[in-house]
């Protein structure tokens, strides 16, 4: 199945998790990390071997938790040949990857993503982070894992809310990729993903291939990789303001709708795109509206821009496979785009 993904480091296949985890854990100097929820559903033979367990969720993606993790790695005597095995969602792989990049100035790590967001997105591409100063991913490094093992059957225990949230990230990647993948994703029932049916495994693989291609061309996010921020400039602002009421993927889904509304201003945009996205998101049970103060969201988007010392860049979908970057559309157009998820909008 891993055919088109960078086969040397990414493996996607159903049922490979336990044997892959065992073979890594048999080696010397492997430090295994997970979170409480994931540890509770892992096979005992893997769970018993964990060296560190984070509290679950975005609120654990902190400097304090990173510090505790680094202390534990040091106390375990992990040397420069050590290896971090991160088993969990995007939070575990983001913080585990960051710890691996800092310990002894950087050791190798392996990602075994267990959530849908993790499997299609977070584990691949080398971005590691914790949140600091109220912003998202404000402290981090680029430190790609040596290997990524994706077993979609792990999604069976993922809580529904997080499965749904992952679909927003899947849809985002599909929009960047093109019509074929977008159609396949829009047609996919949530249950097929939960059961790791072949159509779902195929979609995960193609999302990874899409991201892999963009990341290979642009690891440090100066060019084409930026397209993957589709939905994320709005989304990160929603997420930062709503924590912990919105999870990452939910915020990204809302962000996609705002970005589509911005795109609809272009004469060559595909008519009805926003409505199609809204329909898919709501069929999967994702929020398509969110009560918010537009001024607060716009302020948060500016703050985020300042923290990153950059210009505000919006990734805008015109049609599946036609996604462009607009630099600072201005407050008025951004406010108009926010109306896409405001409470009194129609679904046209």
Ligand X SMILES: NC(=O)c1ccc[n+]([C@@H]2O[C@H](COP(=O)([O-])OP(=O)(O)OC[C@H]3O[C@@H](n4cnc5c(N)ncnc54)[C@H](O)[C@@H]3O)[C@@H](O)[C@H]2O)c1
**Closer CB to ligand X, 94 or 300, in the complex:** 94
**Closer CB to ligand X, 61 or 322, in the complex:** 61
Residue 124 makes CB contacts below 8 A (sequence gap 6+) with 10, 111, 148, 208, 211, 212, 215
Output the six-digit token pair for 43: 């096979």
Q: How far is the CB of 207 from ligand X (least distance, A)?
A: 11
**Closer CB to ligand X, 82 or 249, in the complex:** 249
Q: How far is the CB of 211 from ligand X (least distance, A)?
A: 8
Residue 167 makes CB contacts below 8 A (sequence gap 6+) with 116, 185, 188, 190, 193, 249, 253, 280, 281, 284, 286
Q: How far is the CB of 88 from ligand X (least distance, A)?
A: 6
Q: How far is the CB of 60 from ligand X (least distance, A)?
A: 8
Q: How far is the CB of 233 from ligand X (least distance, A)?
A: 13
Q: Which residue is nearest to ligand X (CB)?
A: 90
**Closer CB to ligand X, 56 or 231, in the complex:** 56
Residues 140, 98: contact at Cβ < 8 Å? yes
- Angle 331-338/248-263 helices, nearest 10 degrees? 120
**Closer CB to ligand X, 25 or 345, in the complex:** 25
Rounded to an integer, what distance in angstroms lies between the CA atom of residue 188 and that of residue 83? 37
Rounded to an integer, what distance in angstroms lies between the CA atom of residue 177 and that of residue 210? 6
**What is the SS3 assignment for 103?**
helix
Instruction: Name the residues that contact ligand X, by CB under 6 A.
Output: 35, 37-38, 41, 56-58, 61, 88-92, 94, 114-115, 117-118, 121-122, 125, 127, 137, 154, 157-159, 162, 165, 247-249
Q: How far is the CB of 104 from ligand X (least distance, A)?
A: 22
**Closer CB to ligand X, 111 or 273, in the complex:** 111
For 243: left if phi > 0, alpha if psi spans -120 to 50, otherwise beta; the answer is beta
């Amino acid at each position: 199945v891993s055919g088109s993904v960078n086969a040397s480091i990414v493996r996607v296949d159903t049922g490979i998790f336990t044997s892959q985890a065992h073979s890594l854990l048999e080696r010397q100097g492997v430090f295994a990390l997970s979170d409480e929820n994931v540890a509770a559903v892992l096979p005992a033979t893997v769970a018993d071997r964990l060296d560190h367990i984070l509290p679950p969720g975005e609120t654990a993606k902190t400097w304090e938790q990173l510090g505790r993790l680094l202390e534990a790695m040091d106390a375990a005597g992990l040397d420069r040949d050590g290896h971090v095995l991160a088993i969990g969602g995007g939070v575990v792989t983001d913080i585990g990857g960051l710890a691996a990049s800092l310990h002894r100035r950087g050791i190798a790590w392996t990602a075994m993503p267990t959530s849908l967001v993790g499997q299609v997105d977070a584990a691949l591409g080398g971005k590691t982070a914790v949140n600091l100063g109220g912003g998202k991913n404000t402290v981090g490094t680029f430190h790609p894992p040596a290997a990524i093992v994706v077993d979609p059957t792990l999604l069976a225990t993922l809580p529904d809310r997080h499965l749904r949230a992952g679909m927003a990230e899947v849809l985002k990647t599909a929009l960047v990729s093109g019509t074929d993948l977008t159609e396949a994703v829009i047609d996919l029932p949530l249950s097929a993903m939960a059961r790791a049916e072949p159509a779902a495994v195929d979609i995960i693989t193609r999302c990874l291939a899409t991201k892999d291609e963009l990341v290979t061309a642009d690891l440090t996010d100066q060019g084409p990789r930026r397209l993957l921020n589709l939905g994320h400039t709005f989304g990160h602002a929603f997420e930062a303001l709503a924590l912990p009421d919105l999870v990452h993927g939910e915020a990204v889904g809302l962000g996609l709708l705002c970005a589509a509304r911005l795109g609809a201003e272009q004469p060559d945009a595909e008519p009805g795109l926003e409505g199609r996205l809204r329909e898919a998101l709501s069929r999967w049970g994702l929020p398509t509206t969110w009560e918010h103060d537009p001024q607060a969201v716009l302020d948060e988007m500016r703050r985020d821009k300042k923290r990153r010392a950059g210009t505000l860049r919006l990734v805008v979908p015109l049609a599946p496979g036609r996604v462009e970057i607009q630099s600072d559309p201005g407050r008025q157009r951004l406010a108009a785009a926010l109306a896409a998820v405001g409470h009194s909008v129609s679904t046209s």
